[in-house]
Amino acid sequence: MHHRCIRCLGIILCLLFMPAGARPAPADASADEEQLVRIQQSIQSGDLRGARSELKQALTRLPGEPRIYNLLGAIDAQEKHFAAAETNFRRAIQLAPRFTGAYLNLGRLYQEHANQQWVVEKALDVYRKLLEFEPDHVEANYQAAWLLYQLGKFGPSLEHLERLPAEAQQRAPVLALRGVDNAALGRRALAEAALKQLSAAGDLTEADILPILPALHEHQAGDLATRMLETLAQRGLSSNMGLQALAGLLEKQGRFKEARESLEKDLRIEPPSVPVLTRLAKLAYRTGDLEGAVGYLAHARDLEPGNAAIHFFFGMVCIELKLPPEAKQSLKEAVRLNPDNPYYHYALGAVLLQEKNSDEAIPHFRKYRDSHPADPRANFALGVAYFDAYQLDAARKELEAVASRPETRVGANLYLGRLAVREDNLTEAADRLRKAIASDPSSPEPYAELALVHIRHKEFALAESNLTRALQIAPEHYRTNLNLLMLYQKTNDPRAEQQARQVEQLQKAGEERERLLLHSLEIRPY
């Protein structure tokens, strides 16, 4: 994006004027002047073909008239003929070395194509040559300052700004440039002062702020960038681009609620788009507003029903909302749309296990393992699925293969302990569960399972001790509460009735298994 000029002069507005003495007077000056004025009017009205035709005729009579070449350059520039425009503007300057308008037009031509440093340097050279004979020219000084800023020459940029008259120095583009130049030079107080003036400037626009944001960040002044974008939003000057930029900065600072508010304003400016809705869903998710995230994603899904990532994000949020049918439906659609994404398969497999549909889950975990053969979490997921499918030998093989790996040590030993309980090998079960506890003392599952082993051994005090520890870690852990109910019932504890109500309220048996699977892989929904 190009920074806007102090003076709103398009190329076609710097066409005819030349200082007196800059060119020789033609023989029939009056008629020629009228024709040139008429041609300029044709250009301004958009009749470029007619204007070019007249200029060719005029050129046969006035081959040394610099304004003809300047007008031809203007037409070429509007028609995107860069090389021809450059040639014509340079020819005008060659014929009239003090033709200010031709210099300005050539400088702007380079700026409009300044995607490489050498073009920026050529534009700067043009303005410097103009300033040799008009050292106080306002726009030339401003544009030279802007180009020097782009080249990282912040001190010389400020020098050109100082040459501007007092009135021009209070204009928003100048204040913005002064602020970022000082920030880049480490002059924090001067940068803040300039940007404070800019915030109150009557001619402030978004075009003054957006181009300087990268430099403010690069020079450790990101807070000033945020402040300026917030000013634009507060004054109602932000477009969707500015609001999205503000949201991005706020998100990086962890100000997710404010970032979301900024993007919500974007929805009032233009129709909702999938990228904006997805960003809003991400922000809602990060602030814990799962219902809000689902709402944004549902809208995005309506706009792009073939977007697998949206279905996946929707499904993962539904998992956290404890909506298994919706999660399953969305994840299945994500897999259908993008069958090669292994993470989609893994997540769907976890949901299918929650539904106790282990036979259907197994192929999805295999798909993940095919894509990540060295990832022990693939073996772990398959081991859990085989365990649920009562394929105990297959489960043992997968789980033992990764029981010593840091990523899966807790889960693998937990399920090997459960497998041993299922086979009535309580000694091995206790050993495996103690290994799981040693690997992660903050996980409630192994304590709950070890308590079950103690209950089977009628070691009720040890069972209660383990369950107490598990409840300290996670008071609403379903399996812990279920095993505590079993303990109370075995010991005729009067608290059994109340505990039964607690278990009923917790619902969702199997929730911990799904959590263990998804958290072991650390799948992010977006």
Amino acid at 154: F
Where the chain has pLDDT below 70, the residues are 1-29, 508-524, 526
> pLDDT digits over 24-43, tens only?
555 456 787 888 888 888 88
As to burial, measured by CB atoms within 10 angstroms (0-12 exposed, 13-18 middle, 19+ buried), residue 80 is exposed
Identify the pLDDT of residue 33.
Answer: 84
Alpha-carbon 233 to chain mean position: 19
Burial state string for 344-369 with b = 16 or more CB within 10 A and e = fewer than 16: bbbbbbbbbbbeebbeebbebbbbbb
Identify the pLDDT of residue 522.
Answer: 56
Q: Quote the CA–CA distance of 456 and 463 in Å, as a whole number.
A: 9
> pLDDT digits over 458-516, tens only?
999 999 999 999 999 999 999 999 999 999 999 999 999 999 999 998 875 445 555 55
Residues constituting the chain:
526
Tokens linked to 423: 């086979």
For CA atoms 419, 421, 427, 430, give the dihedral sign: positive
3-state secondary structure of 7: coil
Residue 290: DSSP 8-state: H
Tokens linked to 207: 């075009």
Q: Quote the CA–CA distance of 397 and 417 in Å, as a whole number.
A: 14
Say what the pTM is: 0.70
Identify the pLDDT of residue 237.
Answer: 94
Q: Greatest CA span in the chain, whole angstroms?
A: 121
What angle separates helix 154-162 from helix 172-184, to the nearest 10 degrees?
A: 150
Q: Taking the chain, what is the end-to-end CA distance rounded to the nearest angstrom?
A: 30
Tokens linked to 516: 């263990």
Identify the pLDDT of residue 434.
Answer: 98
Identify the pLDDT of residue 2.
Answer: 42
